[in-house]
A = this chain, B = another copy of it.
């Protein structure tokens, strides 16, 4: 009961933060003692690097491992730098092989090599296997510690095998079934094993397997695990031989990271890949400045378009008044379409080959939006600035929205088709493109209607 009651952590971490600020180690040790590992992880993920190292070092040994395992890999990497070598080696040997690979990716190559060499031979071999798969593939994120059974085994025998592996297997709730050549032929759940007649064979209760290929993008495999509501997905090589297993908790973390990335990219910044408060200000600046510069350089296109029409502008200064409104609406329309399609792509609702289907849909949506906004704008601007300005603004809204929605819908698919991240090539680029094209449309319509 004590632990359940302290779940609201806001009151408890104040004592920890105070002790940290005062660098009062005895008080810190006392303040940490009643907290659960999850609470300590929550506190660590909001501290800066130095305070994090201090807090971590006062943790009791048993808890330190649990806390370490649950930390974001970026923070594990930070901590390793500040701990003594033997402490790190012990931690490292006790980690799950898939978590270990995630940590290795965070560390400088020399540190990573030294840690790998310190592992017991079997662990080192497993880890090296995982490290052999390409970055971003599910091979990197799966666990090689699975329990598999054979179709001809009796249920009793299969349950015995499970019992032997209760302590070290990644999961015992979903068991891959393989033949003599280690080829995956199905899966069986522990629940079904427990429910079946002990003398029946595994074959009689096994189900067809949903699996992932080891070189597949981790996000795709994780999405499959989620979509089919599975607790685990076996991972196979090109000959359908079982090489590992992806469990749902790892799938969740993969999807969470993928979504953070998508959101960052949609807003035109590089993903942080670490909790907000643990990133230094310089890190935040770095993650944003490059995209901001690229986009600003792209936006100089608008300056050039406007220069072409400078004469028109000085003749009718009123035209300048609507520039932010028009390009803002164009950008919003484009972003709406792009975000919808990017998300549908991520969820697998839309695929690359749907390009023309999406284009036609978004064209119609854009038309409809343009007609609604355009007629409203026509009425209002006609009343305030006269019918010719009203006509220009109304017509611009119609063509702008149609163009923006179509471009916004198509861009993520084109990006995916050339194997780029749809989120990168969508919103920020669309805004820039739509801004420049929109101005062109605006001034061409204005010249025609106003006869200048």
A contacts, CB < 8 Å to B: 1-4, 7, 36, 38, 42, 45-46, 70, 162-163, 166-167, 172-173, 184-185, 190-191, 194-195, 208-211, 226-231, 240, 248-249, 251-253, 255-256, 259-260, 262-264, 266-269, 272, 275-277, 281-282, 284-285, 288-289, 291-293, 295-296, 299-300, 302-303, 306-307, 310, 313-314, 317-318, 320-325, 327-329, 331-333, 335-336, 338-344, 347-350, 354, 357, 361, 364-365, 368-369, 372-373, 376-377, 427-428, 431-432, 435, 439
Select one of B211, B264, B361 contacting A7, CB under 8 A. B211
B324 touches A435 (CB 8 A): yes
| Most chain B Cβ neighbours within 10 Å, of A190, A267, A291, A310 | A267
**A7 CA / B220 CA spacing, docked (Å):** 13
A324 touches B325 (CB 8 A): no
Give the nearest-CB partner of A281 in chain B. Answer: B364
B173 touches A208 (CB 8 A): no
Number of copies: 2
Select one of B185, B259, B306, B369 contacting A1, CB under 8 A. B185
B284 touches A361 (CB 8 A): yes
**A300 CA / B384 CA spacing, docked (Å):** 12
A340 touches B293 (CB 8 A): no
A349 touches B46 (CB 8 A): yes
Select one of B162, B191, B252, B347 contacting A260, CB under 8 A. B347
Question: When A and B form their complex, which 7 residue pairs have the shortest distance between CB atoms, in order from nearest?
Answer: A3-B208, A267-B339, A276-B344, A302-B324, A229-B249, A275-B349, A269-B336
Write the nearest CB–CB distance from A356 to chain B, whole angstroms. 13
Question: Assuming the A-B contacts A191-B172, A324-B324, are A4 and B332 also in contact, with contact meaning beta carbons closer than 8 angstroms in the complex?
Answer: no
B313 touches A320 (CB 8 A): yes
Write the nearest CB–CB distance from A283 to chain B, whole angstroms. 10
Select one of B36, B211, B329, B335 contacting A208, CB under 8 A. B36
Write the nearest CB–CB distance from A5 to chain B, whole angstroms. 8
A166 touches B185 (CB 8 A): no
**A305 CA / B322 CA spacing, docked (Å):** 11
Write the nearest CB–CB distance from A209 to chain B, whole angstroms. 6
Write the nearest CB–CB distance from A447 to chain B, whole angstroms. 16
Question: Assuming the A-B contacts A166-B194, A272-B340, A302-B325, are A332 and B295 also in contact, with contact meaning beta carbons closer than 8 angstroms in the complex?
Answer: yes
| Given A1-B185, A288-B369, A291-B332, 9 other A-B residues pairs in contact with their CB atoms under 8 A | A4-B185, A46-B349, A163-B195, A229-B253, A264-B340, A267-B335, A272-B340, A277-B354, A327-B328
**A427 CA / B328 CA spacing, docked (Å):** 12
Question: Assuming the A-B contacts A248-B231, A248-B252, are A365 and B285 also in contact, with contact meaning beta carbons closer than 8 angstroms in the complex?
Answer: yes
Give the nearest-CB partner of A302 in chain B. Answer: B324
Question: Assuming the A-B contacts A166-B195, A195-B167, A288-B333, are A4 and B299 also in contact, with contact meaning beta carbons closer than 8 angstroms in the complex?
Answer: no
B4 touches A208 (CB 8 A): yes
* Chain B residues closer than 8 Å to A302, beta-carbon distance: 324-325, 328
Write the nearest CB–CB distance from A114 to chain B, whole angstroms. 28
Question: Assuming the A-B contacts A36-B208, A229-B70, A267-B336, are A348 and B42 also in contact, with contact meaning beta carbons closer than 8 angstroms in the complex?
Answer: yes
Select one of B184, B354, B372 contacting A289, CB under 8 A. B372
Question: Assuming the A-B contacts A166-B195, A292-B333, are A325 and B303 also in contact, with contact meaning beta carbons closer than 8 angstroms in the complex?
Answer: yes
A332 touches B268 (CB 8 A): yes
B252 touches A4 (CB 8 A): no
Q: List, sorted by A's number, 9 A–B pairs whose CB atoms are closer than 8 Å.
A: A36-B208, A226-B249, A259-B259, A277-B349, A277-B357, A281-B368, A291-B332, A296-B377, A299-B328
Write the nearest CB–CB distance from A270 to chain B, whole angstroms. 10
Select one of B36, B268, B323, B342 contacting A323, CB under 8 A. B323
Give the nearest-CB partner of A376 in chain B. Answer: B293
* Chain B residues closer than 8 Å to A320, beta-carbon distance: 306, 313, 317, 320, 323
**A42 CA / B349 CA spacing, docked (Å):** 8
B325 touches A317 (CB 8 A): no
* Chain B residues closer than 8 Å to A369, beta-carbon distance: 285, 288-289, 292
Give the nearest-CB partner of A327 in chain B. Answer: B324
